[in-house]
Structure 1
Amino acid sequence: MAPIFITGIGTGIGKTLVSAILTKALEADYWKPVQAGFEDGTDSEWVSNWLQQTGSVVHPEVYRLKKPASPHIAAREEGITIDISKICEQIPKNDRTLLIEGAGGILVPLNESQFVADLIKAMGAKVILVSRNYLGSINHSLLTARVCREMQIPVIGWVFNDQYLDYEEEIVKWSNFPRIASIPWTDNINGTFINSQAAAIKKQLKDIL
């Protein structure tokens, strides 16, 4: 099975929470190959905390960069260049479903000429798009969908979260990508919440895949 790549319409829209829920629902493994900024902990560490005793493996990053910035800038400050080929060579290979979390949105630069979208294509991955309901999210969601379509990136569907306003039906209709799930807002993210959301979408997610 091709890996599933979790990307979103921007930064801070809930990709890591959604990744934890989807990893749990699919009994999959998790991998974030590029981490930019880790003073407050990494996304891999956060996901691992909620997947203890599940059998899911959280694979180590290929690039672990100090500066919380666009990966190409964070890498430049450390005197390195992110190499997509190097990432692809280290894709974990086993019989389990692999969920890969990207950095930021689909057109986040990884180096001076390649973007997250180029990494997705090089991996041969299928994409789940994460959209958060906020003012401006229709525009950001549809721009992301258009990039995927123009670059012929296969999209499985949308996972929405938050509760600002309900834009979901319009985004689904105008993008022509299906809705997989809607994750409600909570200010108390814990194991109970992640487990309940994973259980709620498990059957639908497996049917879609």
Structure 2
Amino acid sequence: GEDKHVYVEYDSEDESEEEMKEMREKVFKKYENAEIIDDDDVEAFEEKERQQYEAKFIDWKKEYYMGKMNIDYDNPEQMDGIVGSYVEGLQWVLHYYYNGVASWGWFYPYHYSPKISDLYDLERFDIQFELGRPFKPFEQLMGVLPEGSKKLLPSAYQDLMIDPDSPIIDFYPKEFDLDMNGKKQDWEAVVNIPFIDQKRLISALN
């Protein structure tokens, strides 16, 4: 076949001969093991690369969903659960800023978001909110404070956070996982604690 050539041009004329040599060697090294493709094979090569990239991308997402949330990426029902909940969250925020609270009791039931590439065909989700009622002040505090802050609550409620026989003792774990999730400081971590069950909480307080 025809000879292949690599032409190297430099913008600066002030480089020393030694520096020029090093630069040439770096450029040539890139091409030592490079695969030479005929023009007729470029399209097939690009398709092969696309498929390889897509396979790695899917594997990365599978690892993310399973490792972070124990969700099987190949399970449509589980994937619809997280994607549908995320879209509900977007709708809740839009309602909040434009129309007011759409639901007092709604919450996003996952510690992590879905990947943006999985947000498609969203019209399949029928999003309906139930208004409910807002938490009363002490109900709200019982839903967000840890056991170590129990003194901020009336004494009648404090035992619910520490008594082993409390019907909601699982809301206040003493040990839990912190996922740094690429962050450096503890306060930036994802805190993997259970979500509050509103009905159980209010029932216990009553």
Structure showing greater relative contact order (alpha-carbon pairs closer than 8 Å, 6 or more residues apart): 1
TM range (shorter): under 0.3
Judging by fraction of residues, say which structure has more helix: 2
For normalisation by structure 2, the TM-score amounts to 0.24
For normalisation by structure 1, the TM-score amounts to 0.23
